[in-house]
Structure formats: C-alpha cells, structure tokens
Amino acid sequence: MKYSKQLFFLALLFAFCIGSYAQDRVAQIDSLFAPVTGKPAFNGNVLIAEKGNIIYQKSFGKADLEKNLPLNSESVFELASVSKQFTAMGIMILKKQNKLSYDDSLRKFFPELPYHNITVLQLLQHTSGLPDYMPLFNEHWDSTKIAVNSDIIKLLSQYKPDTLFAPGAKWEYSNTGYALLASIIEKVSGKKFGEFLRKNIFEPLGMKRTQVYCRRYENRKIDNYAYGYVMDKKTNKFVLPDSIAETAILVYALDGIQGDGTVNSTTTDLLKWDRALYTEKLVSKKMMVEAFQPAKLNEGKTYGYGFGWSLGDIKSIGKIVTHTGGWPGYATLIEREIEVDKTIIILQNMETPRPSLINIRNILNGIKVEASKEISVKVSKLQDYVGEFELAPSFTITITVEADKIFAQATGQDKFELFSEKEDIFFLKVVEAKIKFIRDKDSKVSSIILYQGGQEVEGKKIK
C-alpha cells in the first residue's frame, strides 16, 4: 500500500507540473498578443491546439466597427489564399471519384485557352507558368463591373498573354492557376464551386459556418461576419477597403473570382478541417501523402509546395504544412505541425501587427532559442554583398550598403537592416529570417539563400 501511495503522490506531482507548464505556455502566448505602445492592437481570432485539444482560443477586437460588435469564436473571416487548400481538396475528391487525373491537360477542360502542356498537377503546385490575371484585368476590364471566373478564361483566350516560363520549368505562386482549378471543379462536377465544396467538404466535416462567399457580388449578409478593414493613411483610421480608391477596385471588380480565395470560415471550423486531414473522411491517406509532396521541376529540383500547402521541416518539430492569406482587410494563417500534431490558426480582419509565427511555434513546442550573436564586418567587405537577387519572377531582394550598415529590401516591402552572424550569413531582427550569400569559384557573390518559415529559397544575382 505504501508503494501505491507513493505512486499516487508522484502522479499528482506530475499532473501539477504538466498543468503548470501548460498554463505557462498559455501565458507566454497570450503575452505575444498584448498591445504594443504606438502600434494598433492586434485585431482577430486565434486558436492553438495539441492533438485536437484547444489549449488557446481568444478573440481580440472588433468584427464590425460601425456597429461596435466584438469578435467571438464563431466570427466568420475571408480566408484569402488559405482558401487554396480547399480548392485543392476539391480536385483531389474528383480524382478519387475517377472524374479527372492530375495529368489531365488544362486544354482538356478549356480548349479555347492558348496554353499547351499545362497539367492539373502543375496548376496545383504553382509550376504552370501561367501569367497573373490581375494585370490583365487592370488593362482590359471595366472596374465598375464584378468579374467572375469565366471572365478570366475569356480574357486569357482573347489577349493570349505569354506564359512566364515553360510548364514545370520553375515555381511561381499563381492565383490564376487556382481560379482555373475552381472552374475545372465546376466543369467536371456540374455544380457551382461553392456548392461542390459545401456538399463534399463542409457538410461532411460539420463545418457549419464555412462557405464560399463573395460579399459584394452576391449582395447577401452573413451573421456574425468579421468585416475587413484597412488603414486610411489620410485620416489614420481603419475603414472598409471599399472607401479607398486603390483597394476598392480590387475588392469590388474581382469579388466574383473564386478558387484562389473566397472561402470564409471560423477558427473553430478550421480546427475541424485540420482534424479531418489526419483521417480518410475525404480522401485516402495515400492521397494526402501525395498532397504534401514537394513540387518536382523539369530538371529534377524540388520546391516546398504541395496541393495548396507550403511545406517545411523544422528540427525537433518535424514536417509542417502551412499557408497564409492576404486580401485588403484580411491576413490569415494556418499551420499544421503534422508529426507532433499541433495546430496554429490566426485570422485577422484589420491590418494590424501580429506576433511572429516562429515565436508562437517555439513556445508551443518548448523550444528555447538563443538570440543570434552579432559579429562585426569590415565596411569594405560589405560591398561584396551589394546587388539584386531574384528569388522568383517579379520578386527580388536588393542588398545595399549605407555608411557602415547593410540592408535588404524585398519587392514591395520596406528596407531592413541586416546583422552579421558569421561569414557570409546575416540575420534580420524585424522577422525570423536569415540570408546566406553564396560565392562562386572566383569568391564573388553569385546568389543568396533566404531561410524563413522552415523554407529555403535560392536567389540568383541579376544585377
């Protein structure tokens, strides 16, 4: 009996320690979302789970500024590009039903399109080389009208913009590809895109608050909707993107286009989605393994993107699959750490700062990270790194030196200072990222490798 009592008290002590550790993690995560002086407070919903059990779920801020309505766990958000994983699943379900193949040609479904040798698989993995549809609409579309997917097909067929590269030659993120996948779903199934997803994904998984929704095109309202707000620089206030010229065109004229976005959901429903992907409720586990395989390019190289998911592998955590989304007023994120079964979901409806995903991930997994130590670099040597490096078509990182400091500036982003960690390796303090400079046989810098979010992306020097 004495032995049993000892075990009982040890069990109590262990349970106390586990409980205390869990509470400590929650407190640390909560502190990340605390308001920062001089910056807008985080506005959105957060859900974090372990093995399907919610350990942190919280709402911050407002769903509707006009009516002063707060967010809650059932508030519905536009997912933006997080929608792509649902489009991909729609294609996978049709494959399961033997209604299409990943090797099918795009022209099998839309023979009027001028693009040859593009497969469904390449559309899924962003290796098709298709041009972005947004510049096409900027040039040829009446912005007082709302476009739908068939309008993309009409403009591509009429104006025949060149591909960016031969199919399979490179990887470049393509909203066009995913809009066309949604159109393929409609053509093959005979159902509207939203209806197909509802019948085949949302209803079977009990995702009662999830739907495909084009708010302006459909002119209907969803109860408890999280309206997306952008900062008006003139008034320094948050407003609907419809009231600012540059964003109004996007959110109105392109509101009817589906597949690359327009799935709307809640953090609670997205956890149901996460749980289903560990099962065979929708497709077989073998098909899910295929969905999480990196894209293979023509020359044999691979890129860490599957079917609507970015792929990564992190020491001590293992394989992760993640995706982010962005649209005027919305910033979304879902990460599934599939080997340790942990889930991070963040949905924002205002352009406010959010904590580093890496910091959340490290707290969740009990990882202590030592801050990178700076070393000094001779100013004369900094000139070795100056140049422009192309990581993808239309996306570069420019390295400059000013006085005795070195800076990196990505396309469309601010300029940030780099700090040397070791020879030819620099880190940023504003985000969790590193840049490694690669030298050729003559010791001249010829390329860089960007390390960020579990990904490694190489960029060749072009200037």
Known catalytic residues are 81
Which residues are paired to 452 by β-bridges?
Answer: 433, 455
Q: Note whether 145 and 214 are within 8 A (CB).
A: no
Which residues are paired to 336 by β-bridges?
Answer: 321, 343
**Measured distance CA(288)–CA(277) in Å, rounded:** 8
**Measured distance CA(321)–CA(323) in Å, rounded:** 7
- Taking alpha carbons only, the member of 74, 63, 48, 79 closest to residue 266 is 74
**Measured distance CA(352)–CA(24) in Å, rounded:** 26
**Measured distance CA(315)–CA(98) in Å, rounded:** 38
Q: Note whether 175 and 194 are within 8 A (CB).
A: no
- Taking alpha carbons only, the member of 148, 324, 330 closest to residue 240 is 330
| Cα distances (Å, whole numbers) of residue 17 to 7, 27, 53, 415, 447 | 15, 15, 19, 45, 48
CA 344 to chain centre: 12
Sign of CA dihedral 213, 219, 223, 225: positive
DSSP state of 200: I
**Measured distance CA(348)–CA(62) in Å, rounded:** 10
| Cα distances (Å, whole numbers) of residue 400 to 408, 426, 456, 461 | 7, 13, 22, 13
Pairing of strands 237-239, 211-212: unpaired
| Cβ-count burial 2-34 (b if 16+ within 10 Å, e if not) | eeeeeeeeeeeeeeeeeeeeeeebeeebeeebe
